Amino acid sequence: MTTLPSWQNEVDGGRKVGGMVRAALWLLTEVGEGNIFTKAELRAAFPEASQIDRRIRELRDRGWRIDTSRDDPSLKQEEQRFVSQGAQVWVPGQAKAPKHKNSLTAAQRQKVFEADSYLCRSCGIAAGEGYGDGDGLTRSVLNIARRKVLLPDGSEEYEFVTECKRCGSGSGDREVDLGALLEHAENLSPMERTVLAGWIAKGRREPEPIEKVWGIYQTLPAASRTAFAGALEDAAESDGESGENADSSGW
Ligand SMILES: [Zn+2]
């Protein structure tokens, strides 16, 4: 076995050694395969590296197996286990991310596309469609994007979603907080939740009556807007004065 470069070398042959490479060397020489390390130990070894957690994730993308408490329940939350080494990232040419880091099989990709009805989940465009915004030449290309999902129990996992090239470009690794979203949903009124469940069942959002009225109001000429607003105020006032006509939808 050849001697490994030191993980402490920040510069090698006049070139800066990247955080991922140094983290890999640290795991091999300081932790050792099969052993446990904590986030605190990792941060103590790389106090200057703000994104050291990210470097560990990059190693995972290069075949390094580093388990968290989610993969291995015997680990505590702050612990990770360096299970096995992947690509020799300190060797020139070995540090490149694999081309398909999603590494889905053709069948898996097909399943994601099917689940999303072959439509971009962000903008709704189908494959090969024009965007219809003046740029008549651009046709959509559908890809499968990886989404990091923070689960309500605090753990995270990656899920796959159909996304067109335009929506995916520049967005980087998007992540979604499912727990926070559920919390927002819980704070909705029962009526709002029923409406939301209806949209979900239909797969699209129907405008509510109040939104239809608002939409038309917005297009009115100024005089009509003023007249409408005044009439609405009168209606609200008379509703407040006499409860007898609570069901009046006559305005
Ligand atoms: Zn899109």
Q: Report the distance separating Cα 205 and Cα 212, nearest Å.
A: 13
Cα–Cα–Cα angle for 61, 14, 16, nearest 5°? 30
Q: Report the distance separating Cα 175 and Cα 157, nearest Å.
A: 10
What is the tens place of the pLDDT at every residue in 12-66? 877 888 889 999 999 999 999 999 999 899 989 988 877 888 888 889 888 899 9
CA of 251 to the centre of ligand 1 (A): 41
Question: In terms of C-beta density within 10 A (0-12 exposed, 13-18 middle, 19 or more buried), how is residue 1 classed?
Answer: exposed
Q: Report the distance separating Cα 167 and Cα 169, nearest Å.
A: 6
Which 3 state secondary structure label does DSSP give 171?
Answer: coil
The pTM of this model reads 0.48
CA of 212 to the centre of ligand 1 (A): 26
CA of 220 to the centre of ligand 1 (A): 32
Residue 69 has pLDDT above 50, yes or no: yes
Pairing of strands 65-67, 15-16: unpaired
> Residue 171's pLDDT is what?
62
CA of 137 to the centre of ligand 1 (A): 16
- Low-confidence winner among 43-52, 75-84, 207-216 (lowest mean pLDDT): 43-52
Which 3 state secondary structure label does DSSP give 66?
Answer: strand
CA of 167 to the centre of ligand 1 (A): 4
Question: In the structure encoding, which two tokens stand for residue 162, read together?
Answer: 């159909």
Pairing of strands 65-67, 79-84: antiparallel
Given strand 156-164, what is the order of strands in its sheet? Answer: 156-164, 142-150, 175-177
Domain ranges of the chain: 11-84, 106-190, 209-240
CA of 138 to the centre of ligand 1 (A): 12
Mean pLDDT of all residues in 128-143: 81
- Low-confidence winner among 48-57, 115-124, 217-226, 235-244 (lowest mean pLDDT): 235-244
CA of 113 to the centre of ligand 1 (A): 13
DSSP-derived letter for residue 157 is: E
What is the tens place of the pLDDT at every residue in 158-197? 899 999 988 888 666 678 899 999 999 999 999 999 999 9
Query: pLDDT above 90 covers what percent of the chain?
Result: 40
CA of 16 to the centre of ligand 1 (A): 38
CA of 170 to the centre of ligand 1 (A): 12
CA of 169 to the centre of ligand 1 (A): 10
For residue 87, name the pLDDT band (cuts at 50, 70, 90).
confident
> Residue 219's pLDDT is what?
94
CA of 168 to the centre of ligand 1 (A): 7
CA of 47 to the centre of ligand 1 (A): 39
What residues contact residue 74 under an 8 Å CB cut-off, 6+ apart? none
CA of 106 to the centre of ligand 1 (A): 21
Q: Report the distance separating Cα 33 and Cα 66, nearest Å.
A: 10
> Residue 3's pLDDT is what?
80
